Structure 1
Amino acid sequence: MALLTLASAKGSPGVTTAAMLFGALWPRPSVVLEADPSGGDIALRMPAADGAALDSQMGLSSLVAAGRKSLYPALVDVHAQRLVGGQKVMVGVATPEQARGITQWDTLGRLFAELPGHDTIADLGRVGAGTPQNSLVEASAACVLVVDTLPSNVVHLRERIRRLQETFGRMSGPALSVVVVAPPKRSRAVREVREALEKSELDVGAVHHLAYDPAGAAFFLGQITGNPGRTQLVRSAQPIVEDLARQTESSFVAPEAASPAGDAEQEVTS
């Protein structure tokens, strides 16, 4: 029942892969939400649980269309799909034009932050001043900004963190952390990113190192062969997921402790 958002300040260096990876390793039931207004690509990457292609028309767009008058948690199950391996996903919009038709971003933030029995791991793509998916950041228990080690991208990251903290407040906003995507042996570059943020006196909870590992990432590009648990990508992600799961644990509500069945269609009010 916690909402974890993942985003980048400039470009999208593996945000979708990280979201799918975190969902696969998450210790509680989860749904991966594609909320990138520029267009999602999970439906293009991954097969459904039965091996067929995912339905690109079934997902966020169909959810908001069905919930135009009333968005409630039971609709999520209707419009979500299962990937091979069992992960539940909410496929994103296919084009930016579809995203511009979504007016319920605030309501979507509350819906996925209060989803009974599931945490939500949301891929927001790139965030900036005025991007509509900022409403999901505001509703999230924790927000992860994904960056590589390119100096210009680190500068953008620093400014984006500052803006987010100014917008939401250091105390009332989501807990912020950073994931640096870098080759396994480039821990020094990750340490330099951490030091740059510390010198800027930004309130960042942790700076994690996620291995740049094309072989591991291939599992999230539909190349389902071998054992992903042995890849450097998965091994580096496990302690990150453990830390984020601990951060968000207090926001999770088990199904038996959630609202009674009679409230299953209660509207998430605007």
Structure 2
Amino acid sequence: MTLTAVIGGKAAPGVTTLSLAMSWAADRPVVVIDADPFGGDVVPGMLPGRADNSSGLLPWLVATRRAGALQAAAQLPSFGVAVSEQVPLTVVAGIQSPSQAGTLTSSWERLATACEHVEGADVVVDLGRAHDGTGWSMLSGADQVVLVVQPTARSVHGAGWVLAQLRARLGDLNRVRLVVNNSGPYTAEEVADALEFESAVRVPADRKAAAMLTEGALFVERSLLRSRLIRACNGLVAQRQAVPA
């Protein structure tokens, strides 16, 4: 399995949308973890009426409080919701309000270890907008960190602080992938140049598909899978690199 962490800076909407879209676009099993300490959008957006009090990160933390790391990791996907009969995608809902953040932020190390040891599926972690309370320890074992930036001056400026935090925690930015999301006055190439990246992935604004993922809009799976958003996210989930013989 591989672990991909998705994070955004100030004025960079779309972290949850991108986390879900890239997971829908993957051609293999994926478990999405909503780890936004501000309160996630997955339940009202993607899982209205489908997630209950027995699923999600908080019930998992309670149920595995005395379990070892590997046992807790094995149970994590079972606290998610399978969102499709055709696509092997499971979504584990996070906290629903910032008032619950203390429980989540005191468990970052435990959650990070579990995400690194999930078997049989890749893991995508939605960390939300970066700030001091972000689960930075979730990045240490990530095969890839996706930084979401909107092509605006304000968003690019905010991404500079996030990159400084990532560099301090990762040592370098070799695992960081830049994704330019939504519309704005700058091209993906201009954003990449401003942030000193060789390239960036451009994800188009697709309000209809995004609304299915994060706004609770009428969900039509066939339409979602054919959307420009999902097609643009193909291949964004980290791939395990082959080890030379």
State the TM-score, normalized to the length of structure 1.
0.78
Residues 187, 22 of structure 1: alpha-carbon distance in 2 compared, 3 angstrom cutoff: farther
CA positional deviation for 1:230: 3.3
Displacement, 1:178?
1.0
> Partner of 2:231 in structure 1?
235
Describe the shift of the 1:23–1:233 C-alpha distance in structure 2 as closer, same or farther (beyond 3 A).
same
Residue identity opposite 1:112 in structure 2:
C
Whether contact under 8 Å (2:50, 2:81) holds in the other structure is: no
Distance 2:211 2:195 in 1: 31
Cα drift, residue 208 of structure 1:
0.8
For 2:44, the aligned partner's letter is: L
Q: 70-79 or 132-141, which moves further after superposition?
A: 70-79
State the Cα distance separating 1:213 from its structure 2 match.
Answer: 1.1
CA-based RMSD of the aligned residues comes to: 2.3
SS of the residue aligned with 1:93? Answer: coil
Supply the distance in 1 between the matched residues of 2:73 and 2:12 (Cα, whole angstroms). Answer: 29
Distance 1:195 1:64, change over 3 A: same
SS at match of 2:128: strand
Unpaired segments ≥5 residues, structure 1: 199-203, 252-270
- SS at 1:250 equivalent: coil
Unmatched 5+ stretches in structure 2:
none
CA deviations 1:7-34 (Å, max 9, x no partner) are 1111451111111111111122110100
Structure 1 equivalent of residue 74 of structure 2: 74
Q: Specify the SS of the correspondent of 1:177.
A: strand
Which residue of structure 1 lines up, in the alignment, with residue 176 of structure 2?
176
1:29 matched to 2:20? The reply is no
Q: Where does 1:7-18 land on structure 2 (aligned, <5 Å)?
A: 7-18=7-18
Aligned to 1:256: none
Output aligned runs, 1:85-164, within 5 Å. 85=85, 87-102=89-104, 103-128=106-131, 130-164=132-166
Distance in 2 (CA, whole Å) between partners of 1:205 and 1:36 is: 28
Contact 1:43/1:55 (<8 A) preserved:
no
Equivalent residue, structure 2, for 1:209: 202
The offset of 1:132, in angstroms, is 4.0
Structure 1 runs, 4 residues or longer, greater than 6 Å off: none
* 2:219 equivalent to 1:224: yes
Change in 2 beyond 3 A, CA 1:33/1:39: same
Task: Give the length in aligned residue pairs.
Answer: 233
